[in-house]
């Protein structure tokens, strides 16, 4: 029998801290009873919540952490105060030391990225780590990266992003050769900024065994699910992600207003409630919660800070998949296969 998978959890992260992180872990454990946890946090707050959940308590090794990184700490502040002793740092350290195979935190993104880079280090072949989001589409799901780890990209960083995203797609979508597109303002090869055009040429020539380069895609291709992996730099990716979230909320608000405006609409709503609930579940951001940090020497999953316990469980599910199917090995293999393409 193989050794059980261990996920290390920063119990103090997120807007609601242990009160949703611990129940979230319990929920994830129900779905993957073979999973084990290492949990880091303030003992007085976390232990009672564990004690209420005997199955979770049995599956968890808890360790006290005296310091918690705050949601509004700047990365430098978090590093100064939290290095070596915060729940966030210790959860990452467990991955670094091989005690756990993936780390989950709902703590603040900047701090988690800074600590991840400091504690786990960036992979040698990778310029800068990226954050990948799983994006629901009409065809299922796609991976979009970078959604905000760093700003700006040259051609080789775009190629890195394509390789990292494809490695994740192989695991998440279980396809041998995921399709990859670069986000641009048009599909024609002459459009867009120089870095994007050069990266496109490099990816077209590279002929990766595990990456099918599709070409440029546009903003509306993301929701269509045109490709498995959408590559963009962090500034644009972050704005695209938040714009889509905003649009979904906006339409939800329209829909709610429309369904309560007339008596007929209210009656219609009652009949169609099951359908509306299904739609709501489909649009529920907690369903696909979890940004994956890619390009680090270890798997780190960032849950949305405002996530509820379902959201935390979804992030842990992703961590489980990343560990179970060995994301790190897949990434290393794919980076080794990356042909050296001379730029320009």
CB closer to a second copy out of 121 and 139: 139
Tell me if 82 contacts a second copy by CB under 8 A: no
Tell me if 80 contacts a second copy by CB under 8 A: no
CB of 275 to a second copy, least distance (A): 4
| Backbone φ, ψ for residue 35 (5° rounding) | -75, 150
Tell me if 222 contacts a second copy by CB under 8 A: yes
Q: Which stretch binds a second copy (CB under 8 A): 18-26, 113-121, 158-166, 272-280?
A: 272-280
CB of 290 to a second copy, least distance (A): 18
CB of 229 to a second copy, least distance (A): 16
Which residue, 288, 289, 282, is CA-closest to 306? 289
CB of 140 to a second copy, least distance (A): 12
Cα distances (angstroms) measured from residue 289 to each of 225, 260, 301, 314, 318: 18, 30, 10, 6, 9
Exposure b/e, 86-109, CB count within 10 A at least 16 = b = bbbbbbbbbbbeeebbbbbbbbbb
Cβ-Cβ contacts under 8 Å for 227 (sequence gap 6 or more): 142, 178, 179, 180, 181, 214, 217, 221
Cα distances (angstroms) measured from residue 114 to each of 111, 122, 247, 296: 5, 11, 30, 11
CB of 16 to a second copy, least distance (A): 20
Of the candidates 66, 97, 275, 325, which one interacts with a second copy according to CB under 8 A? 275
Which residues are at the interface with a second copy (CB under 8 A)?
A: 74, 136-138, 148, 151-152, 183, 185, 190, 192-193, 218-224, 232, 234-236, 238-251, 253-255, 258-259, 261-262, 264-265, 267-276, 278-279, 282-283
């Amino acid at each position: 029998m193989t050794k059980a998978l261990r996920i290390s959890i920063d119990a103090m992260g997120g807007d609601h801290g242990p009160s949703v992180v611990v129940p979230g872990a319990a929920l994830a454990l129900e779905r993957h009873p073979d999973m084990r946890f290492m949990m880091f946090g303030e003992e007085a707050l976390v232990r009672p919540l564990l004690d209420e959940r005997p199955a979770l308590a049995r599956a968890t090794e808890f360790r006290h952490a005296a310091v918690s990184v705050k949601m509004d700490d700047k990365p430098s502040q978090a590093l100064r105060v939290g290095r070596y002793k915060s729940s966030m740092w210790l959860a990452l350290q467990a991955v670094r030391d091989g005690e756990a195979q993936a780390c989950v935190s709902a703590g603040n993104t900047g701090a988690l990225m800074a600590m991840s880079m400091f504690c786990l280090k960036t992979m040698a072949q990778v310029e800068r780590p990226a954050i990948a989001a799983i994006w629901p589409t009409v065809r299922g799901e796609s991976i979009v990266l970078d959604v905000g780890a760093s700003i700006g990209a040259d051609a080789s960083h775009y190629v890195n992003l394509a390789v990292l995203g494809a490695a994740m797609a192989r695991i998440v979508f279980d396809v041998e050769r995921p399709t990859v597109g670069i986000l641009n303002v048009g599909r024609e090869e002459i459009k867009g900024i120089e870095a994007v055009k050069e990266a496109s040429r490099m990816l077209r020539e590279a002929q990766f065994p595990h990456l099918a380069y599709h070409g440029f895609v546009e903003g509306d291709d993301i929701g269509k699910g045109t490709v498995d992996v959408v590559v963009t730099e962090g500034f644009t990716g972050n704005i695209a992600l938040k714009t889509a979230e905003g649009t979904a909320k906006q339409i939800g608000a329209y829909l709610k207003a429309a369904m309560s405006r007339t008596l007929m609409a209210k009656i219609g709503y009652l009949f169609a409630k099951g359908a509306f609930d299904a739609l709501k579940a489909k649009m529920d951001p907690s369903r696909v919660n979890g940004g994956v940090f890619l390009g680090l020497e270890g798997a780190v999953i960032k849950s949305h800070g405002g996530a509820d316990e379902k959201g935390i469980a979804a992030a842990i599910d992703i961590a489980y998949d990343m560990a179970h199917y060995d994301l790190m090995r897949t990434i290393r293999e794919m980076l080794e296969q990356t042909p050296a393409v001379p730029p320009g």
